[in-house]
Structure 1
Amino acid sequence: MNESELYEYTIEILSPTIVASGGKLQRIDFIQRGTRIEILDMDKTLADRSSLELFERANYNLETFRGSIKDGKIKYEKKYDLQFTGSGGKNLDNIEIIEHIKSAGRPYLPGSSIKGALRSTITRAFGKDNVYKMHLKEKITEVLTKNPRGGERALKEVGVEADEQIFGSPTSSPFKLLVVSDSSFAENSSLQLSEIVIQNIKKRENLLPLYAETLSPGTKLTGTLIRKYRTLYSKEKFVKEIEIIESMAEKSRASNSILLEREIEKLSKSDPNKFRKIIEFYKKLLMMSKEKSTILLCMGFSSGYFSKIAVGNPDSEFLQDVQKLMNLSNPKKQISSDFPVSRKFVTDSMGLPAYPLGWIKMTLSKIKS
């Protein structure tokens, strides 16, 4: 008897997606030429003797050297180009660019990020909201009565401890039976420079935008997913709630329908004209989720509060409790009663919201052993 099932997964990027590397490209790292952003390779550029001499004449001032490159006075090398998809005519000279994670200079999606998104999505459909909601209330009571200074730690612990109430210790968690590989590499040409607006949907105002390398819609990646059987574990490590990792496409459909319908309703009430493209995108996702073998996931940087939590129906009482615990964790930064009101959207060339971040489509094909 085989002890595991092996699948090949195919991921299609549906909306601009970034798993941040933790690094940022600064002004010295790139040059804007219209809507094309050239990412410079200074090491290769300075390996050329004539370029190195010009750098020496510039007193090793990188800013002066970059200016000469931009003016076409120096032969230079570049790593890759990014197409800027945001507001037309914008000068991007002084921005920082959040980098997408890469290995050997090529972008990919880490298996841990894919598995995390899969875990959140199917747990939301598991019908255990009451455990998370009750544990949240217990944490608030604990902070108020026993440990007034422990709010920040309590906020970090609440989800982990609720998970353990449902699934037991990490050794007994059913998610230990899922092994997700890193994705294949994408070409650097699949990256774009996205302008990300932080939108308050109550006040209808934008904060200063962010800029990030994102994988472009239509990019496809592959990898493997292994689903192990519980027989791999001894009786001392009995796997609890194993059914959660079965019928994952059906669970993702149930999970996402609540999330998407909630967002459509909120954006339609806020400003249906401004958010027209976002609303249309969410409606397409609802139709796409009905496909039998499709697993829709929302993952990565700034994909939103609701995509990260394991609660399928975060009602007003739950959100008020979250807000209360967040305020206890950081009294100097009080969260409004309307939490969460901010959304991060990728803009189009007119500067209008065009995409939410981080939606991907996963399909699984079983590999015969």
Structure 2
Amino acid sequence: MKHEIGHIYHLEVELITPVSIGDGSVLSPLSDYYIKQGKKSYAKLLNKSLFEKALEKYPASINDYIQKVNIANQNKEEDKSNFLPNFIKESLKNENVDDFFIDNEIEVIGKGNPIQLNTCIKERGTPYIPGSSIKGAIKSALFYRWLQEVPQQEELEKICHKLLRKQPVNKEFDELINVFFENDENEKRKSFSLLRVSDAYFNSDKIIWIHCKRFRTQKDSGKKPFPLFKEAIKKGETAPFELFIEDTPLVGTCKKTIQPIIDKGINHIREAVNQFSLANLDYEINTATNKNLNSFIDFSRDLVSRIKNESNRTMFLPIGSGKSNFYQSIGLAIWEKSESLGKQDAFYNFLNTFIVKKKNVSSPKPFPLTRNLIEATKIPLGWVCIYPKTSGTETEKSYSIQELKNGQVVQATIIEIKQPHSKVQIQGIEGKFNMTGTKRAMHLSGFKKGSKVNVKITLNKQGKISQTSFIELI
């Protein structure tokens, strides 16, 4: 849709596999959660305030807890699923274990000895995909497409010959990157500041915990795959977001590399993304020879077929944890050029210099040597597809205060816009409610008085709505 200062696209992201974008935090089975094992396993988070009060009641239990944590850390093979329940029963003399844990249960995919959990990014408990993650994946794809053009292919050939002679190529790489991303000190803005992507928010009950492992893509070494434990958004979930391409003569930046996006819009982005994804999938299918990863290969082949069948409307890309290094580097283009020249050693020297960072290591083994996959299914995290959001004439929903749950996402109508909190009304619920997130939503077209929005509600102890948080425009 064309606006005064650019083009805005209303899109939907759908998760083909679970998506995990880490926030840098971890949870431990020794201090934060336990897992109820069964046909379906669930995790429960520790109520730390109750736990600390119980420790104060039994002072001797503090030293006991520290001692048991140290022993558990030393014994890597010990099952830690019930470390906290066992401690509560034995040291705090309390059989009512569930009283110490928050009621909400989180589904756990796969089996394994719990380790530190890498948590995913959330805003007030609501998981989301940052627009920067989607934009970063798009930029990598556009860069790869640009590298396929004749002038850049000639430059890559020169780089490969220098790599063969083990000569430094940092300057050449920097020049390619600076030309494409137009890092010109004389420009007031970077070219890709013209491309903006909003965050995509999901319901808070769509989180799962997944046992993953780092599998070797070639023949097994005999060593156990390294375990990983990830918090992620469930596959199959969808969320709307917006992509905006600024186009105004007032923009103080060179628009050479981004001009095709301005001219062709979302079609150019979709073509570049699908081209890049197909190239990466083709490489992985041809280099993963470990027979234990047949499910991974089958998934990749099925995804290739789907991309080819749906590429006229949908783009497919990996984001977050689980993608290989090729999805965010110049590596695939170097591999393709070195292979076309019959000079694969140029690629291995590239790996030794920029990826593996070991000198004089020549390896006939394809890169990457390992792949992080879901343990139960042997498929990767992070694959999503993006397509235009279909507009509908959905009837406004009505709610009853007795039916609402804390953290629930509901429809609302904006009745007042101001910072920091706008005001909304919810059909069927008496009153006006503060809505946080106004600053983030102000740049969205359609964010105005009378607009319909989805908001996340927060309930107080009396079960009344204390505030709402903006999720998306409807």
- One-letter identity of the residue aligned with 1:261: D
Higher helix share: 1
Deviations 1:188-242 (A, max 9, x none): x3222222222222223453221211222112222221111152414xx221123
How is 1:1-369 mapped onto 2 (pairs within 5 angstroms)?
2-27=4-29, 28-34=31-37, 35-46=40-51, 51=54, 53-54=56-57, 56=59, 58-59=61-62, 62=65, 66=84, 67-69=86-88, 72-74=95-97, 75-78=99-102, 80-86=104-110, 88=111, 90-92=112-114, 95-126=115-146, 127-128=148-149, 130=153, 133=156, 136-137=159-160, 144=167, 154=170, 161-169=175-183, 171=187, 174-187=191-204, 189-205=205-221, 207-234=225-252, 237-245=253-261, 246=265, 247=267, 248-267=269-288, 270-271=289-290, 274-289=292-307, 290-291=309-310, 292-310=312-330, 311-312=332-333, 314-315=335-336, 317=338, 320-328=345-353, 330-331=357-358, 336-349=363-376, 353-365=377-389
Amino acid at match of 2:303: L
Shift of 1:286: 2.0
TM-score (norm 1): 0.78
Separation in 1 of the partners of 2:247 and 2:345?
Answer: 40
CA distance in 1, matches of 2:278, 2:159: 24
Query: SS of 2:378's equivalent?
Result: strand
In the aligned structure 2, how far is the partner of 1:335 from the partner of 1:100? 37
Structure 2 contact 345–362 (Cα < 8 Å) conserved? no
Q: Which moved more, 1:71-80 or 1:14-23?
A: 71-80
Q: CA 1:361–1:322 in 2, change beyond 3 Å: closer, same or farther?
A: same
The Cα of 1:61 is off from its aligned counterpart by 5.5
- Structure 2 residue aligned with 1:148: none
Q: Which runs of 5+ in 2 are unaligned?
A: 69-82, 392-444, 447-474
Q: Which has the higher contact order (CA 8 A, sep 6+)?
A: 1
Normalised by the length of structure 2, the TM-score is: 0.62
Distance 1:26 1:227, change over 3 A: same
RMSD: 3.5
Deviation at 1:363, TM superposition (A): 1.5
The CA deviation at 1:57 is 5.2
Q: Percent identity?
A: 20
Residues in 2 aligned to 1:135 and 1:80: alpha-carbon distance in whole angstroms: 58
Query: CA 1:36–1:216 in 2, change beyond 3 Å: closer, same or farther?
Result: same
Deviation per CA, 1:104-132, whole angstroms, max 9, x where unpaired? 23321111111101111233223245277
1:139 CA displacement: 8.1
What is the count of residue pairs matched by the alignment?
A: 345
In 2, the alpha carbon distance for the partners of 1:135 and 1:44 equals 63
Shift in alpha-carbon separation, 1:140–1:294, aligned structure 2, 3 A: same
Taking the aligned partners of 1:79 and 1:134, their CA distance within structure 2 comes to 60
Q: For each residue in 1:303-346, what CA deviation from the matched residue of structure 2 results, as whole angstroms up to 9, or x when unmatched?
A: 10222225557327276445424434644795744241323243
